[in-house]
Amino acid sequence: MNDMSIPPEGPGRQMQDGDVREAEPAFRESYWKLRHITLAGLSWPAATETKGSTPVIMLHGWLDNSLTFVKLAPALTRLGPVHALDFAGHGRSGHRPEGQSYLLMDYVADLAELVERYFQETPDGRINLVGHSLGGIVGALYAAAFPERIRNLVMIDSLGALSRPVDETIPQLRKAIKKRIAGSGRQVLYPDIATAARAREGGLSPLSHAAALTLIPRNMKPEGNGYVWQTDSRLRHPSPLMMTEEQVLASLSAIETRVLFVRADQGLLSYGKDLDKRAEAIANLQIVRVPGGHHCHLDGETRPVESAITQFLENE
């Protein structure tokens, strides 16, 4: 297990409105039809037409969407084609049918079906997987269950699923069912995207206004004289069943591939408990510390994250 720190390249700065990197490869909309849902996302072509390159699949965090990787994805195109997904219920992907919940393991199942249907013809039958937050959790579970399909795994401010003690199983179930019966309430109508972006700036994982303006338009849809959230409101419902810490450790210990944990200095895991045990459970783990918060790959100076991930994926 390697633990290193990458400083910012030059003075840190906040992303400004209209701030676009030069020569970024253009992305296109992509859709992947699965048996019970259609997933959407963004795709960047490989920077060079090299046969045999390993595709990179990118998984976003809870309530985010594929635009969270708009700064990071272009840097990875020199490794191969890059595809950033919208999870079910997020962005432009389909929503779960009425009566269903957004269960963690269903995201893993969606990813497994996507890889089997659309990414079988890779050089060695494997992909590179980069996940942020929830995306890192899903990626870790998929890597544990399907080691033959993963070449490398990167987790950004993510190191295994949220866990609950076993004696909280029934209280958690009760809370989830009560919320499901009560429903989600009425949608908030925003007069414009900028107002919605300001609403997104706060919360558990704060964003600068510029980063929020980059991210949230894909989660919005026009309605009447304004905009409402396109994101499925059921995503905010409590999960009826959560993993215990023992189960999380067991899932992490089952990962066979190379793993990079990108740990943000001001991220949600900067003061996390039990991270040492989780890190020790992964046999082939590298850790890199980077400046920034939970969205260190999107907000502020992102080059340290780009450098760490590209170096990891290139230097096998």
Q: Which residues are catalytic?
A: 133
DSSP string, 130-146: EEETHHHHHHHHHHHH-
Please enumerate in sequence order all residues whose Cβ is within 8 A of that of 11, keeping only pairs 6 or more positions apart, or say none.
Answer: none
Compute and round to an integer the Cα radius of gyration of the chain: 19
**DSSP secondary structure string, 260-278?**
EEEEEEESTTTT-SSHHHH
Exposed e or buried b per residue across 92-125, where buried means at least 16 C-beta atoms within 10 angstroms of its C-beta: bbbbbeeeebbebebbbbbbbbbbeebbeebeee
CA distances from 112 to 1, 102, 145 (A): 27, 16, 9
Amino acid at 103: L
Measured CA to CA, the distance from residue 312 to residue 307 in angstroms comes to 8
Nearest to 159 by CA among 245, 70, 64, 57: 245
SS (H, E, C) 189-230: CECCHHHHHHHHHCCCCCCCHHHHHHHHHHHEEEECCEEEEC
Residue at 315: amino acid letter? N
Distance CA 3, CA 22 (A): 31
Strand partners, 285: 259
Residue 4 neighbours by CB under 8 Å, 6+ apart:
286, 287, 288, 289
Q: Which helix (H) or strand (E) holds 300?
A: none
